[in-house]
Amino acid sequence: MMGWGNMMGGWGYGGFGGGYGMMGIGTHLILGIGIILLGIYLFRRSGSRVHPGTVSGNNRAMDILSERYARGEIDSHEYRSRKQDLESYDLLKGKHL
């Protein structure tokens, strides 16, 4: 005969773990939220975008200019002129290459 004394048949430790259930659920909830926030932080940190007018944006412009010169799309005079323009733009903004 099964009475109220067994684990699953009565109010024992079945279900939520005997009085510590809400604390266990809360711990899992906090841990889950922490993992989600960590994932969002890491995703945003690794996904840095280049905005025009920033130092990184100007470096990209210099890379493009160098590539165009290397492919022969522009001559050395135009290359130097545009490079000087990009460098002076950076100095006007108070940024360094």
Residue-by-residue pLDDT tens, the chain, 97 positions: 555 555 555 555 555 555 566 677 888 889 999 999 999 998 888 765 555 545 555 688 889 999 999 999 999 999 999 998 888 876 666 555 4
Residue 62 forms part of a structural domain: yes
Residue 80 forms part of a structural domain: yes
Measured over the CA atoms of residue 36, residue 42, residue 46 and residue 47, the dihedral's sign is positive
The tally of domains found in the chain comes to: 1
What's the pLDDT score for residue 39? 92
* CA Rg value for the chain: 31
Parent domain of 79 = 55-92
Residue 72 forms part of a structural domain: yes
What's the pLDDT score for residue 5? 53
